[in-house]
Amino acid sequence: EDEDSTSSAVQLWRRTNCHSAAVPTLARRLRAAVSVQGLAGSGLMQNANAATPWLFGPLTMAQLHLRTLLSDARSEWTEERAALTGRRRPDLIIVSLGGNDFNHQVGHAPSAEKFGQAYSRFLASLFTATAEGDAHAPPGLVVVSICGQGSPADLAFDPDNNRCRPCPNVEAAVHTFRRERPSLATRVHYVFVPCDGSVVREEHGSGCQGHMTPRGQAAVADFLVPRVAKIMQWGEGADYDAGSM
């Protein structure tokens, strides 16, 4: 029994693990320090399966994104906290939100207008105050919103798990934000990761609950590396010299 349990744990680790997710892999490729704020099932306006709130709780990433510990609302972004912990404040924030708002909601997805407004407010919050409301984001902060990262295998496993479903709304929200806030327009970007199998292939979708395997996550990182490096002007090829994200 112990051997079976160990074998199952090893197989699960091979199929899905946070260390091999796309963003940590991207950070290693770009030689960047990284901190990942995320919670399975979290959305921007509503969490996955919002009709059963006990599954994921009432807080969305709009409230949780500044936390390193989900139970601690103090932000790590203030200069005081950064000095205390020795952590750098971010040069780059990658936002990947929308899928849980629009999938698995039994017909109760937000309207494009309301989602766009919420997304714009979220982007603005990244450039203004931290959770304490007494400090501003680092000068020169860049935000890259990404969407997609799916494959045909996702829909084969779960027809209500279309990772590209929110993308038109995310893209529109980013463009609206840039148009309405011209002073920040060059610091907010949108990157679409196709769901047609050209990036994440069918064999990459056999991880836990239909999520990508580490190979699929690596494929997304491969797609993002040159695009993020170009946006951040972090060099080319093996000469990346990144900051923190």
48-65 pLDDT per residue, tens: 887 887 777 888 888 888
Locus of tokens 């919103």: 145
Q: Above 80 in pLDDT, residue 9?
A: no
Residue 207 has which token pair? Answer: 């991880």
Domain spans of the chain, in order of start: 2-232
Asked if residue 245 has pLDDT above 80, the reply is: no
Q: What local confidence, expressed as pLDDT, does residue 196 receive? A: 92
Read off the pLDDT of residues 104-136 as tens digits, 9 standing for 90 and up. Answer: 888 889 999 999 999 999 999 888 754 444 445
Longest dimension (CA), the chain: 61
Radius of gyration, alpha carbons of the chain: 18
Q: Is the dihedral of CA 86, 132, 55, 51 positive or negative?
A: negative
The letter for the amino acid at 47 is N
The token pair at 38 is 């995320």
| CA within 13 Å, CB half, 29 | 22
| Inter-residue contact 145 to 191 (CB < 8 Å) | yes
More confident residue, 199 or 40: 199
Please state which of the ranges 21-35, 140-154, 180-194, 231-245 shows the lowest mean pLDDT. Answer: 231-245
Residue 32, helix vs strand vs coil:
coil
Write down the pLDDT at residue 153.
82
The beta strand positions in 113-154, using DSSP E, are 142-148
Whole-number pLDDT of residue 209: 64
Higher-pLDDT residue of 78, 136: 78
Across residues 156-166, what is the average pLDDT? 87
Of the pLDDT bands very low, low, confident and very high (cuts 50, 70, 90), residue 171 is very high
pTM: 0.82
Please state, rounded to an integer, the average pLDDT across all residues of the chain: 80
Domain 2-232 has CATH 3.40.50.300: no
Cβ atoms within 10 Å of 205's Cβ, excluding its own? 22
pLDDT band at 4 (very low <50, low <70, confident <90, very high): very low
Residue 165 CA to residue 171 CA, distance in Å, equals 11
For residue 1, the model assigns a pLDDT of 38
Position 241 pLDDT exceeds 60:
no
Q: Which of 153-162, 188-197, 201-210, 212-221 has the lowest mean pLDDT?
A: 201-210
User: 87 in the Ramachandran plot: left (φ > 0), alpha (ψ -120 to 50) or beta?
Assistant: beta
What is the structure's pLDDT at 207?
64
Residue 226, pLDDT above cutoff 80: yes
Residue 2 in 3-state DSSP?
helix
